Amino acid sequence: MTFHLLLSAAFLIFPAGMAFAASMDLLTMTIPNRLCLALALGFFVFALISSAPWHLVLWNVSCGAAVLVVMFTLFSLGWIGGGDAKFAAATALWLGWGSLLDYSLSAAIYGGVLTVILILMRKAPLPESLSKMAWLARLHHPKTGVPYGIALAVAGILIFPQTALMHMAAMG
């Protein structure tokens, strides 16, 4: 009973982290470093509690490391934010190589939809009553970027149930 309770609690780490990151990016246009670190550490806690085989853990670690290198290259080119780079790498740690393509394509699609919505929203004037909300006024400003962490989080939540890690935990 205790094992199943711990495993259930560990299962909540990923979706809770995704939801928190999306809301932080929406409200502040930042994804805190401590959240990315908590997601990464949460992966190892989950792997330990679920008795994930070491080869699966190492395989996912290699995926997270590769994504970190690619994303920081994009960050250095000024194409994405640093928080998005770290968040994508922490997410890839949980998803692994087998789900990386689906995650990347999903995040790109959701990010494109989010970008179009923001472009259209920014063309219309923000009602006075809504302009008093600092986060909404910032989001509406044409010079503000796109809180891409929302797309990364949505894609992560939707892809996670299909991952090797989840299949392994369901079987055990």
Q: How many CB atoms lie within 10 A of CB 38?
A: 18
- Which of the two residues, 20 and 2, has the higher pLDDT score? 20
Total number of residues shown for the chain = 172
User: Is the Cβ–Cβ distance between 52 and 11 less than 8 Å?
Assistant: no
Which residue, 150, 85, 83, 76, is CA-closest to 115? Answer: 150
According to the model, what pLDDT value does residue 27 have?
95
User: Is the Cβ–Cβ distance between 13 and 37 less than 8 Å?
Assistant: no
51-104 confidence digits (pLDDT tens): 889 999 999 999 999 999 999 999 999 999 999 999 999 999 999 999 999 999
Q: What are phi and psi of 127, to 5 degrees?
A: -55, 145
According to the model, what pLDDT value does residue 53 have?
92
Q: How confident is the model at residue 17 (pLDDT cuts 50, 70, 90)?
A: very high
User: Is the Cβ–Cβ distance between 152 and 74 less than 8 Å?
Assistant: no
Coil, strand, or helix at residue 28? helix
User: Is the Cβ–Cβ distance between 71 and 81 less than 8 Å?
Assistant: no
Q: Cα(first)–Cα(last) distance of the chain, in Å?
A: 14
According to the model, what pLDDT value does residue 50 have?
84
> What mean pLDDT is predicted for residues 8-16?
82
> What mean pLDDT is predicted for residues 109-135?
94
Average pLDDT, the chain: 92
According to the model, what pLDDT value does residue 60 have?
97
Does the pLDDT value for residue 39 go beyond 80?
yes
